[in-house]
Amino acid sequence: MKILVTGGAGFIGSHVVDGLLAAGHHVAVIDDLSSGSRDNLPATVPLHIVDIVDGQAVRGVFERERPEAVCHQAAQMSVSRSVREPLFDAQVNCIGLINVLDAAVATGCARFVFASSGGVLYGDVTVPAPETTPANPVSPYGITKWVGERYLEFYAKEHGLAAVALRYSNVYGPRQNPHGEAGVVAIFCKKLLAGEPATINGDGRYVRDYVFGPDVAAANVAALTHTLPGVVPKSLTSLNIGTGVGVDVNELEAVVRGEVSRVLAERGRLAHLPDPVHGPARPGDLRSNLISAARAGEVLGWRPTVAFPAGVARTVAWFAAAKTR
């Protein structure tokens, strides 16, 4: 199959590209490189450096590439930027999405997979939330993910697309950008490998469901390419992609610190890593957010394969190697 991945030079998108190539599919990428990098992609993958807000440019790429399916990962994904600049957030996450949907239907694309978010839709939940949990987004970013699903549903019904929204929990892994506000595993890897203490917001008792990036990519590959009874034209299927396992930030820091110590010791650097420091709590941070991916198991045959400590080990190894490149 020929698949176009928007945001394919980013963290999750580039793992989707790897998964599609490994399964023998043809891939092209749209990315404006605002947070992604060419280095995340094999040199053979065509990269169109295009802003999805530019509808004409997006349409031009679709006319050239003629994909059979689209994996839409490109987004403005900073919650705090969405609060500061809701208009910019809506331009990328709503207008950009509509541009991609319009180009897809105009060029005969049949399947559309959208990166949604369980984290921002369900709010504070202490047991893994199923997809039937009422959506209650509180930030402009969360609102655009919810509205994005509504647009997807409209385009599916009106234009016959088979559409899937994958509602990720907190994704982590190699290639995640450590410079933003999200991606606490990447941020702590970078800090601790530099011998600096990790900063934990507030008391650190904030529980999240961490899912490994390549596992999330496998869910995308299944949703894009498999013949699935639950994924049919004219309908939207929304599926949670997470582990249902909660880890708080204090535990997370200890796992990352242990793994960084091990890697440094292997290199003959037995440095004592500094203890974490506690900063102010972030206003509005949810205490607990967990999602149930039981339905993704039924519809996609998907389940997470990498447990948190093993995923952290692979992530630390990648950041350690990236540091010495």
Ligand X SMILES: NC(=O)c1ccc[n+]([C@@H]2O[C@H](COP(=O)([O-])OP(=O)(O)OC[C@H]3O[C@@H](n4cnc5c(N)ncnc54)[C@H](O)[C@@H]3O)[C@@H](O)[C@H]2O)c1
The site for ligand X (CB under 6 A) is made up of 7, 9-13, 30-36, 51-53, 73-77, 92, 96, 115, 117, 119, 168, 170-171, 177, 182
24: its two tokens:
């023998």
Q: Between the CA of residue 308 and those of 64, 180, 261, what are the distances in Å? A: 41, 21, 17
d(CA 268, CA 264): 6
Q: Give the CB-side neighbour count of residue 175, counting CA atoms within 13 A.
A: 22
Report the candidate in 214, 243, 245, 241 with the shortest Cα–Cα distance to residue 299.
241
Least distance in angstroms from the C-beta of 205 to ligand X:
20
Q: Of 122, 141, 168, 210, which is the active-site residue? A: 141
Helix axes 249-266, 184-193, angle to 10 degrees: 40
d(CA 152, CA 30): 19
Least distance in angstroms from the C-beta of 35 to ligand X:
4
Least distance in angstroms from the C-beta of 259 to ligand X:
20
Q: Compare residues 15 and 191 and give the one whose CB is closer to ligand X.
A: 15
Least distance in angstroms from the C-beta of 214 to ligand X:
12
Q: Compare residues 264 and 311 and give the one whose CB is closer to ligand X.
A: 311
**List of residues 6+ apart from 118 with CB closer than 8 A:** 129, 167, 168, 169, 209, 240, 241, 242, 289, 291
Q: Compare residues 31 and 153 and give the one whose CB is closer to ligand X.
A: 31
d(CA 101, CA 156): 10
Least distance in angstroms from the C-beta of 14 to ligand X:
8
Q: Compare residues 76 and 243 and give the one whose CB is closer to ligand X.
A: 76
Please, where are the H alpha helices in 123-228?
140-159, 184-193, 213-225
Residue with tokens 């490998």: 193
Please say if 206 is a catalytic residue.
no
Q: Compare residues 117 and 263 and give the one whose CB is closer to ligand X.
A: 117
Report the candidate in 18, 199, 112 with the shortest Cα–Cα distance to residue 8.
18
Just list the catalytic residues. Answer: 141
